[in-house]
Amino acid sequence: MDEPMLGGMAQTVLDRAHPLLRPGNTNCGGCGMSSLFHMMDHAAEDRRLQFVMPASCAAVCGGVFPLSTFGVPALMTTFASGSAVASGAAAVAQLNGEDTRVVCLAGDGGTYDIGVSSLSAAAERNEDVLYICYDNEIYGNTGGQRSSATPAGAITTNLPEGKTQQKKDILSIMAAHRIPYAASISLAHAEDAVRKLRWALDLKGFRFLLVLSPCPTGWKSEPALGMELVRLAVRSGLFPVLEIFDGKRHVINVEPDFSDEALDMYLSLQRRFQKSGVCAADLRPDLDRNWQNLRVLSGRIVPARRGP
C-alpha cells in the first residue's frame, strides 16, 4: 500500500458495533480528538484495542470514575510515561500471543515535550505500539500554554506577545528513528486518514501518527470551522500530509496548492494569530524551504509554485 487509495472508505458492516468514544464525553465542541476517535471507529473495525493515555485532554475525556468514556480498556499514565507504559502493556500482550493493538494516544505536550524521552526510547526499541499524537499545538488541558508544537506567531496564555520560534518537526524526529511507519494525518482528508490508521493498526513495531487537531478553545476559532482550518493548513502547505516508511521512503499523500490565500485564511480565522499579525508572507520562506526538502526526500520533481 504505497500510494494513497481513493474512494471506498465509507462505513461498512465491519465497523465497530460500539464506538471508541461514547456519547456524553466532556470534549469541547469542535475538538479534533473527537473526530480522530470517529475515524478510528472506521479504521479499527473489530480489532482488539487497548488505550494508554498520558495526562492530556484525552485523560480528562475518559470521564469520572467509575464511568468510562472509551469503548475499550484504557490506562491513564503519568505525563512523561505514555510510551513506556504502552511498551509494558504491549510486551505482555506479545508474551501471551494476544492480537491486541496497544494504542498510545497523547497530546503534543506529552509527545513533543515531557514525553519525548520515553517516546524516543520506545521507538528506538521498536516496541509493538501504535503512538498517535493529536497535536493541538498547545497545552490545552491546562488552559493553553506554549509547547514546542506551538507555531510561530501564535499567542498562548504564557506568551502573550506570540511565539517567535518555529514549531518542532516531530515527524522528522520520529522518522530519524527508522521506525516502520511514521505519518501525518489530516482530519479533513478522511479517506487518507482512515487508510493510514488501518495500515498503522495492522503493522508490527513502533508506528507514529501525527494528527493536526483543531482546538477551538486554544486556537480561538469557531468550533464548526475545525475541519476547514485543517483543510487550509494542508492546502497552503503549512501541514504536510505524508507517510514515511522505515525512515527512508517518503510519500506525499496530499498535494497542496501553496496558495497564500489559503494560508492567510488559515491565520485570520484564528484569533491566536491576530496579535502578532503574522501573515502568509512571513511564513512562506520557511514553508518553501521545508517543502524543497520534502520534495528531495520524496524523490519528486519540484513543481512550479502556484498562486500569486
Partner 1 sequence: MSAKLLSANHGAALAATLAGRANRAGRGFCSGVYPITPSTECMEFLCLQEIEKGRVVRTESEHSAMGVCIGAAAAGARTFTVTSSNGLAYMAENCMAAANLRLPVVLAVANRTLGPPWNLWTDHGDALMLRDFGLVQFFCADNQEVFDTILCAFRLAEDPDVMMPVMVCMDGFILSHSVTMTEIPDQAQIDRFLPLTAIPHQLGDTPHTLGQIEVPHQTEAHRQQHHAAMLGVPLVYAAIQDSFEAIFARRPADAVVAYRAEDADTLIVSMGTIGATAERAVDMLRAQGHRVGALRVRLFRPLPVAAIRKWFAGKQRIAVIDRNISLGFGGILWGEVQALADPGTVVQNYLAGLGGGDVRPEHITGMLADLLPRQIAGQPAMVEAV
Q: Which three cell numbers stand for residue 37?
A: 476517535
Q: In whole angstroms, what separates CA 146 from the centre of its chain?
A: 17
E strand or H helix that includes residue 222: none
Residue 265, interface with partner 1 (CB under 8 A)? no
Binding map of partner 1 across residues 93-112, x = CB under 8 A, - = no contact: xxxx----------------
What is the CB neighbour count within 10 angstroms for residue 224?
10
Contact region for partner 1 (CB under 8 A) — 67-75, 132-140, 156-164, 242-250?
Answer: 67-75
Q: Write out 190-220 in H/E/C secondary structure.
A: HHHHHHHHHHHHHCCCCEEEEEECCCHHHHC
Closest distance of CB 68 from partner 1, Å: 4
What is the CB neighbour count within 10 angstroms for residue 61?
22
Residue 157, interface with partner 1 (CB under 8 A)? no
Contact region for partner 1 (CB under 8 A) — 92-100, 138-146, 162-170, 254-262?
Answer: 92-100
How many whole angstroms separate alpha carbon 268 and alpha carbon 41? 33
String of DSSP letters for 80-102: T-HHHHHHHHHHHHHHTT--EEE
Closest distance of CB 92 from partner 1, Å: 4
Judged by CB, which is closer to partner 1: 106, or 154? 106
Residue 60, interface with partner 1 (CB under 8 A)? yes
Judged by CB, which is closer to partner 1: 80, or 254? 80
Residue 73 backbone phi and psi in degrees, to 5? -60, 145
**Which residue of 89, 194, 233, 267 would you call a contact of partner 1, by CB under 8 A?**
89
Residue 73, interface with partner 1 (CB under 8 A)? yes
Binding site for partner 1 (CB under 8 A): 18, 48, 50, 52, 59-60, 62-66, 68-78, 80-81, 83-96, 117-118, 120-121, 124-125
